[in-house]
Amino acid sequence: MKTEECIREEADKFVALAQGRIKGLEADLAEAQQRSAKIKAELEAARQALTRRANFQFKRDGDYQCPKCGIQRGIQAAMTPRPGQRRLDLFQCDTCGFDLDVPH
């Protein structure tokens, strides 16, 4: 009987160790799932960027279009010319504020 009791006590120690790891492992799993979801969203956005580039209009109704809004967000947004330096034309997106310096 003493042998069985000793084995049972050791088994209970292993169970206690396992129980102690459950919360940490559950937290690790939840973090990994969140990270996986984020990576999947970033992957989908990267794939969409390829399609958006193929359909991107550089100029629409006489206005240059913002490449950041067009590629990253899939929207059309005009860029307004701003005063620039002597050798640069400056454009700024009316929607996201992206600045583009164009040498001339």
Burial 61-100 (b: 16+ CB within 10 A, else e): eeebbbbbbbbeeeeebbbeeeeeeeeeeebbbeeeebeb
pTM of the model: 0.65
The number of domains in the chain is 2
Assess whether 61 and 50 both reside in one domain: no
What pLDDT score does 68 carry? Answer: 96
What pLDDT score does 88 carry? Answer: 75
Assess whether 67 and 100 both reside in one domain: yes
Assess whether 49 and 61 both reside in one domain: no
Q: Digits of tens for pLDDT over the chain (104 positions)?
A: 699 999 999 999 999 999 999 999 999 999 999 999 999 999 999 999 999 999 999 999 999 999 999 999 999 999 998 876 676 789 999 999 999 998 87
What pLDDT score does 22 carry? Answer: 96
Assess whether 64 and 86 both reside in one domain: yes
Q: Which domain holds residue 43?
A: 1-55
